[in-house]
Chains A and B, each alone.
Chain A
Amino acid sequence: MSEGSDAPRRGWSSKRRETVYRELRDVLNSQQSVMDDIDDKALRTVRITALLLGVVVPAAGLAAVTFQPLLAAVGVLALVLSAIVGVLTYGESDLVVGPSGAYAVSLATGDDADWELDFLVELASWTESNAADIADNGRLLFYTQALFVVGIVALTASVAFYPVVTYFGA
Chain B
Amino acid sequence: MSGSDDGQPDETGQRSHKGPALLSKLLGRDGHERQQEQRARLRAVVDESME
A residues bordering B, Cβ < 8 Å? Answer: 32, 35, 39, 88, 90-103, 106, 110, 112, 117-118, 121-122, 124-126, 128-129, 132-133, 136, 140
Contact = CB atoms under 8 A, between A and B. Distances in A.
Nearest to A131: B38
A92 B46 CA distance: 31
A122 B12 contact: yes
B46 A99 contact: no
Contacts, number: 100
Interface string B1-30: 000001111011111111111111000010
A82 B35 CA distance: 29
B20 to A, nearest CB: 5
Contact of B15 (A95, A110, A132): A95
B19 A91 contact: yes
**SS class of chain B's interface: helix, strand, loop or mixed?**
mixed
Contact of B24 (A92, A106, A122, A124): A92
A99 B15 CA distance: 9
A90 B18 contact: yes
Given A91-B18, A92-B21, A128-B42, A100 B35 contact: no
A77 B9 CA distance: 45
Interface of B: 6-9, 11-24, 29, 31, 34-36, 38-39, 41-43, 46
B46 A94 contact: no
Given A121-B42, A124-B42, A106 B18 contact: no
Given A103-B11, A106-B8, A88 B22 contact: yes
Contacts of A91: 18-23
A73 to B, nearest CB: 25
A102 B34 CA distance: 19
B46 to A, nearest CB: 6
A20 B22 CA distance: 34
